[in-house]
């Protein structure tokens, strides 16, 4: 197995990780970025973004490609499609199927992933009517009926996106008021293909080979009903990607990593940036900002701990 040493290793190649890569490699420390998949992170799956400054309307994939090209310019070494075997944050060793990495500092920018409904039928019907990515799977539902679950920005925006294909989109929310930004809500209320089902949760997903029915419960009346749909897209929030990391540093009850304003975690020389950390706003711009801050402090850490890290490595 090949052994590789870097000043800074960034785990995760989304907006936080790629911004950190730009700042760290520009700060003249040797920098590597490791990802389980191709680089780009969650926004690569967003059809469009309209709130990243300087880009009034840009494809998610296109924007992340620009981030990656920008990081390439400063010579970051990229290790996509890595299968992680272990991460020891204290000694800063990362073992993948192909390499043994040793870092002086680590920036955790592993992001977050969709939360599951946790109801019968959900796991069984993934890819056969249950999807967590409207951009990836929306086109399969041309002239079909689908449901989106949730009331946040993701649920409402993805419900609108699905109206491009589906004949009808139910938006099922557990309260009678959406959490999504007002401007997003207003657009959805005007969309005639969207029908809102309030105060309701999905209790079960049923079907034969493919999904055909959702069992709903009205949370106020406790009444159960069946809703005929061809597909369901849960968008009920996110959970941090902390496999191989959890338990090694301070996290909140939901697993998000706790940092200070320099993105330092409870472990010396370990930083966290973007959706994986406890933060009040999870956007591409805040992830990019976190990445920049984390890298500046990671570079400072390498410079001020030169002797200490030399003897530890």
Identify the active-site residue in 7, 35, 137, 275: 137
Site pattern 186..225 for ligand NAP (x: CB under 6 A): ---------------x------------------------
* Interacting residue with ligand NAP among 20, 64, 282, 301 (CB under 6 A): 282
Helices (H), the chain: 15-26, 60-73, 134-137, 153-162, 182-190, 284-304, 306-312
CB neighbour list of residue 270: distance below 8 Å, 6 or more residues apart: 89, 92, 105, 106, 107, 108, 249, 264
Does residue 25 bind ligand NAP (CB under 6 A)?
Answer: no
Identify the active-site residue in 62, 88, 98, 136: 136
Tell me phi and psi for residue 127, to 5 degrees: 85, -5
Is 275 annotated in the active site? no
CB of 182 to ligand NAP, least distance (A): 12
| Per-position DSSP letters for 186-206, written without gaps between them | HHHHH-TTEEEE-SEEEEEEE
From 74-82, 90-98, 144-152, 294-302, span contacting ligand NAP (CB under 6 A): 144-152
Does residue 179 bind ligand NAP (CB under 6 A)?
Answer: yes
Q: Please give the C-alpha separations between residue 203 and each of 156, 206, 209, 287, in angstroms, as whole numbers.
A: 21, 10, 19, 34
Structure tokens at 54: 């300087």
Does residue 235 bind ligand NAP (CB under 6 A)?
Answer: yes
Compute how many other C-beta atoms are within 10 angstroms of the C-beta atom of residue 182: 8
Is 252 annotated in the active site? no
CB of 60 to ligand NAP, least distance (A): 10
From 31-39, 120-128, 208-216, 236-244, span contacting ligand NAP (CB under 6 A): 236-244
Q: 105 vs 200, which CB is nearer to ligand NAP? A: 200
Q: Which residues are catalytic?
A: 133, 136-137
């Amino acid at each position: 197995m090949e052994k590789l040493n870097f000043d800074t290793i960034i785990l995760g190649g989304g907006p936080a990780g790629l911004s950190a890569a730009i700042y760290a490699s520009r700060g003249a420390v040797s920098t590597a970025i490791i990802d389980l998949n191709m680089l780009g992170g969650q926004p690569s799956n967003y059809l469009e973004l309209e709130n990243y400054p300087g880009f009034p309307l840009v494809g998610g994939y296109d924007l992340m490609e620009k981030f990656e090209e920008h990081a390439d310019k400063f010579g970051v070494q990229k290790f996509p499609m890595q299968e992680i075997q272990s991460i020891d944050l204290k000694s800063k060793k990362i073992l993948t199927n192909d390499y043994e990495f040793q870092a002086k500092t680590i920036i955790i920018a592993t992001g977050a992933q969709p939360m599951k409904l946790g109801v019968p039928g959900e796991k069984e019907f993934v890819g056969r009517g249950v999807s967590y990515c409207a951009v990836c799977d929306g086109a399969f539902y041309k002239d079909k009926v689908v449901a989106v679950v949730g009331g946040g920005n993701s649920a409402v925006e993805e419900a609108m996106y699905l109206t491009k294909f589906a004949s009808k989109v139910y938006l099922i929310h557990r309260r009678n008021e959406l959490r999504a930004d007002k401007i997003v809500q207003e657009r959805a209320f005007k969309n005639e293909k969207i029908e809102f089902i309030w105060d309701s949760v999905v209790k079960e997903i049923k079907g034969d080979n493919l999904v055909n029915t959702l069992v709903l419960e009205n949370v106020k009346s406790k009444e159960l009903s069946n809703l005929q749909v061809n597909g369901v897209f849960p968008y009920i929030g996110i959970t941090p990607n902390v496999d191989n990391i959890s338990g090694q540093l301070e996290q909140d009850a939901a697993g998000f990593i706790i940092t200070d304003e320099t993105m330092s975690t409870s472990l010396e020389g370990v930083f966290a940036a973007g959706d994986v950390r406890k933060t009040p706003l999870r956007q591409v711009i805040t992830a990019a900002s976190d990445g920049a801050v984390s890298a500046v402090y990671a570079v400072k850490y390498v410079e001020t701990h030169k002797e200490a890290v030399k003897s530890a490595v």
